[in-house]
Amino acid sequence: MTIPFDLLLIQVINGIVTGMILALVASGLTLIFGIMDVVNFAHGELFMLGAYLGSTVFLTTGNFWVALAAAATGIGLLGAVIQTTTLRPLLGRDPLTTILATFGLSLVLQNYALWQYGPVPRKINEPITGHFSLFYLEYPWYRLLVAVLSAAIIGGLWLFMKYGKYGIWIRATTQDRVMAAAMGIPVPLVHTVVFAIGAAMAAASGVLFGPLTGVNHAMGLDFILRAFIVVVVGGMGNLGGSILAAIFLSLLEAFASIWVSPAQAVIVSFVVLILTLLFRPTGLFVPTPK
């Protein structure tokens, strides 16, 4: 069966767009895991709350960019509070405990959103409307903007980590938190800040994603599962790997959607995860096992 080239290309672009948002969410998740061995089950809820907060700010200001900034900052702060109150006491305990704690948090946050915002989906309007012609389709500019913005945020994060003043602190703590502390780096503070950054990135993704499908309280669930898969396939703690994995998996799902429904296309990602765990457990793109 031949697939029309234009359909293929559209799916490629769709895959990349979704992949970039997913990469943004997964980057925060993998960063948090890499530095403090915490699998943040509540990450999807931070994504979702970011979208809701963004929609509220958007409602009052009418400005997408303000909403984006406010959501990222607000949820970043929430992340800092969560880490300090719930995760810091658990440092050094069995990693299972942090999974459970963040799972408990995700239940609370999910239902809080339901309570606070109600079951009716919210809306965020995209800052750039209009389409350009892509073959037989009118492709929205906004989707391209989303991909570019996500790439920019991730790029900014990478630059900060490599060249920023505190980037060294974060990288040192990720590699060896004991020696980092022995060098005078305030490790607990670094942990909190990284968690906050991860939360802020998730929130930003939520706001970026909002105009595409609407803001509802279940949007986090779908993303968290995909994000976990991305993080494992990319190699836990591996930032570059997560980004590649996010795009790779999104492209695969986009192609699969040509034949099956999007709900079923997610099975493709599941299969890739299982194959990765069986044959390349440290990550699909990781060259040598650690």
Partner 1 sequence: MTTRPARGYWIGFAVVLAVLVLAPLVLPEFWRRFVTEILIWGLLAMSLDILIGYTGMVSFGHSAFFGLGMYGAAAALLTVRPPNLWLAILYGLVGAGAVAVFVAYFSTRLRDIYFAITTLVFSQIFYVIIFTWTEVTGGENGLGFSQPAFAIPGVVSARFTPVTLHWFVLAVVTVSYLGLRRITQSPFGMVLQSIRENEPRTRAIGYHVERYKIVAVMLSGLFAGLAGVLYALQNKFAAPDFVFFLVSGEVVVFNVMGGMGTLVGPVAGAAFFFLLRELFSRFFTEYYLIPVGIIFTLMVIFVPQGLLGFLRRRLNQ
Partner 2 sequence: MLSVQNVHTYYGKSHILHGVSIDVSPGEVVGLLGRNGVGKSTTLKTIMGLIRPSEGTITFEGRSVAGAAPYHLARLGIAYVPEDRRIFRLLSVLENLRTGLDRPGVEPARRDALLEKVYGRFPVLRERRNQAGGTLSGGEQQMLAIARAMMLEPKIILLDEPTEGLMPRMVAQIHEIIDVLHGDGVAILLVEQNVRLTLEVSSRVYIMEKGVVRHHAPAADLRRNDAVIHQYLGV
Work out whether 77 is an interface residue with partner 2 (CB under 8 A): no
Q: Could you tell which of partner 2, partner 1, none binds residue 12, using a CB distance below 5 to 8 A set by kind?
A: none
Distances (CA, A) of 17 to 13, 68, 209: 6, 18, 10
Q: What whole-number distance in Å separates Cα of residue 257 and Cα of residue 232?
A: 23
Interaction partner, residue 108 (partner 2, partner 1, none; CB < 5-8 Å by kind) = partner 1
From 56, 89, 54, select the one nearest 73 (Cα to Cα): 54
Question: Whole-angstrom Cα distance, residue 158 to residue 243?
Answer: 12
* 89 contributes a contact to partner 1 by CB under 8 A: yes
Residue selected from 118, 186, 262, 281 as contacting partner 2 according to rule CB under 8 A = 186
**Residue 204, both tokens:** 């930003």
220 and 64 Cβ atoms separated by less than 8 Å: no
**Cβ 162 to partner 2 shortest distance, Å:** 9
Q: Which does 110 bind (CB under 5 to 8 A by kind): partner 1, partner 2, none?
A: partner 1
266 part of the interface to partner 1, by CB under 8 A? yes
The piece of 14-22, 56-64, 194-202, 274-282 that touches partner 1 (CB under 8 A) is 274-282
Task: Pick the stretch among 15-23, 111-119, 150-158, 167-175 that binds partner 1 (CB under 8 A).
Answer: 111-119
Count CB-CB contacts under 10 A for residue 171: 14
CB of 187 to partner 2, least distance (A): 6
CA torsion angle for 242, 247, 248, 253 (degrees, to 10)? 120
Q: Evaluate whether 41 touches 165 at the Cβ level (below 8 Å).
A: no
Residue 185 as a binder of partner 1 (CB under 8 A): the answer is no
Q: 39 touches which of partner 2, partner 1, none (CB within 5 to 8 A by kind)?
A: partner 1
How far, in Å, CA of 43 to CA of 203, rounded? Answer: 9
Q: Does residue 184 belong to the site contacting partner 2 (CB under 8 A)?
A: yes
Which one of partner 2, partner 1, none is in contact with 261 (Cβ closer than 5 to 8 A by kind)?
partner 1
Closest CA to 251 of 26, 13, 5: 13
Q: Which amino acid is at 68?
A: L
- The CB-of-188 to partner 2 minimum distance in angstroms stands at 8
- What separation in angstroms does the CA of 140 have from each of 67, 219, 279? 21, 21, 39
115 vs 108: CA distance, rounded Å: 10
What are the residues binding partner 2 (CB under 8 A)? 165, 168-169, 171-172, 175-176, 178-188
What are the residues binding partner 1 (CB under 8 A)? 39, 86, 89-90, 93, 95-97, 99-101, 103-105, 107-108, 110-112, 114-115, 221, 225, 228-229, 232, 236, 261, 263-264, 266-267, 270, 273-274, 277-278, 281
